[in-house]
């Protein structure tokens, strides 16, 4: 039976993306460099993976568990999402990300000395890159890693894949992506996640935001094309 899309699906995408940004960016802002017991890059990477893993099981059966405009674009290109639902999914995801970043701002600003100038888990390249990596490095990183992410999602949710384990594969894939790329650009692979925090920081975060929309969307499309043309052997 064809899936019917509506308020429940858009609400699931809103709350799934909300949790991803609050959990992932929240771990970076509140816990990564906490005195003496900070969780570091590995902890932040795991936090992002856990947010997706938990929400894939919590609301994935309702909406498909995208929580990411680049994933939605990739699943649309992979014939997993009707074109008419792509924009509502993306809008729901961005609104969820902005709402979560707002909650995170309220929490983080309760500490003396808090400043948005510390980055607020925004993505960036050049002087805004944690490791000082160039725009080209960030562009390639985002395209390749998003393509691999979408490829894993399409493969792990295919009919031939073991049922019930997709959330684990997807969550661990996102963890690995962050372990690779946090030093490069603070890891996006998700335009909504990038937008949610950038709107509160403004300035350079907004000026560089274009890359974290363009590159992940290209990567999402590339992952879908690779999967459909090289790896796919069924019609789902």
- The reported pTM is 0.94
Which 3 state secondary structure label does DSSP give 235? coil
- Digit-coded pLDDT (tens) for 218-227: 999 999 999 9
- Digit-coded pLDDT (tens) for 20-56: 999 999 999 999 876 666 789 999 999 999 999 999 9
- Digit-coded pLDDT (tens) for 65-80: 999 999 999 999 999 9
What's the confidence (pLDDT) of residue 235? 47
> 32-35 long-range contacts, Cβ below 8 Å, gap at least 24?
none
Q: Does domain 7-111+121-231 have CATH number 1.20.1080.10?
A: yes
pLDDT band at residue 62 using 50, 70 and 90 as cut-offs: very high
> How many of the other CB atoms lie within 10 Å of CB of 115?
9
Angstrom distance (rounded) from CA 70 to CA 90: 9
């Amino acid at each position: 039976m064809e899936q019917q899309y509506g308020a429940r699906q858009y609400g699931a995408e809103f709350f799934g993306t909300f949790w991803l940004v609050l959990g992932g960016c929240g771990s970076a802002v509140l816990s990564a460099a906490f005195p003496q017991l900070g969780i570091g890059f590995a902890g932040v990477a795991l936090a992002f993976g856990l947010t997706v893993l938990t929400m894939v099981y919590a609301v994935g059966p309702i909406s498909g568990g995208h929580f990411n405009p680049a994933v939605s674009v990739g699943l649309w290109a992979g014939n997993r999402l009707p074109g008419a639902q792509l924009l509502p999914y993306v809008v729901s995801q961005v609104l969820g990300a902005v709402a979560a970043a707002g909650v995170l701002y309220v929490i983080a600003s309760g500490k003396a000395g808090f400043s948005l100038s510390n980055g607020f888990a925004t993505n960036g390249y050049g002087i805004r890159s944690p490791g000082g990596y160039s725009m080209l490095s960030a562009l390639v990183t985002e395209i390749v890693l998003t393509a691999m992410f979408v490829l894993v999602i399409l493969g792990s949710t295919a009919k031939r894949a073991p049922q019930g384990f997709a959330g684990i594969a997807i969550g661990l894939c996102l963890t690995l992506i962050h372990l690779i790329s946090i030093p490069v650009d603070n890891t996006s692979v998700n335009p909504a996640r990038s937008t949610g925090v950038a709107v509160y920081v403004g300035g350079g975060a907004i000026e560089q935001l274009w890359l974290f929309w363009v590159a992940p969307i290209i990567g999402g499309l590339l992952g879908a094309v690779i999967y459909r043309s090289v790896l796919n052997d069924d019609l789902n």
